Amino acid sequence: MSNSLFELQQTMGYVFRDLGLLRTALTHSSFANENKCESNERMEFLGDSILNFLVAEKLFESRLDAGEMTVARAAAVSRNPLAKAVEKLGALDYLRLGVGAEKEKHVSVKFKSDIFECLIGAIYLDSRSLDECRKFIFAFLSLDGKSNDDYKSRLQEYVQDKQLGTVKYCTRSVGEGKTPWFKSEVSIDGKTIGSGYGCRKKEAEKDAAQEAYNFLTSHGGK
């Protein structure tokens, strides 16, 4: 495991003082429950906050206005680019999943994106340095101004062009307490092809549209 983690650290561009933090960042709750150890869930929370701050900070240095910065940040920290970064890192090869967890069910786009945030959290806890987090983040994420904010339009245009049917969204509240949280499912002629989550209905629908668009384009519209 040490040799493997050495290779991962080389790819990350950061060498840990406490290798246990990196192991925790790669530990799914199923493994933690079975082995009585800490999962990566708390690191994900920390990493998500750091990621959003550092991306916002970098965008603030640009000439974009507030609305453009909001769109650019949403694009940069959305699930797909984070998941692709994790794939590029090869971090999925080092995940610690429980015996009872089926890998293909847990390693979704959301799960992969969470891992990237966990790695950010681990780097910060090990270094206590935002500079180290900044180096890691922007080595794998790009702020080129391209946004995936308009996936609903992309999906609609694609479906119309391929004459696949009628696009419909079913969005409902799934949050409890004071914090609103929504889940949206997008379907074509009654067949669900994508789902998404967000703190607002529009965000959940955009997330669902992105998943549906990516699914259709990767499967030739089938």
Region of 50 on the Ramachandran plot (φ > 0 left; ψ -120 to 50 alpha; else beta): alpha
Instruction: Report residue 182: phi and psi, to 5°.
Output: -125, 150
| 4-13, 128-137, 169-178: the lowest-pLDDT one | 169-178
Question: Quick one: which H or E segment has residue 191?
Answer: strand 191-198
Q: Averaged over 154-180, what is the pLDDT?
A: 82
Give me 32's structure tokens: 């933690």
Active site residue 48: yes
Residue 159 in this model has a pLDDT that exceeds 60: yes
Is pTM beyond 0.85? Reply is no
Give the pLDDT of residue 67.
82
**Among residues 78, 75, 147, which one has the least CA distance to residue 113?**
78
Instruction: Please write the tens of the pLDDT for every residue from 21-68.
Output: 999 999 998 899 899 999 999 999 999 999 999 999 999 988 778 888
Does the structure show a pLDDT above 90 at 19? yes
Say yes or no to pLDDT of 145 above 60.
no
Q: Which of 117, 126, 205, 207 is catalytic?
A: 117
Residue 157: partners with Cβ closer than 8 Å, 6 or more residues away = none
- CA 105, 110, 115, 116 torsion-angle sign: positive
Is the pLDDT reported for residue 150 higher than 50? Answer: yes
Active site residue 205: no
Active site residue: 48, 185, 205, 207, which one?
Answer: 48
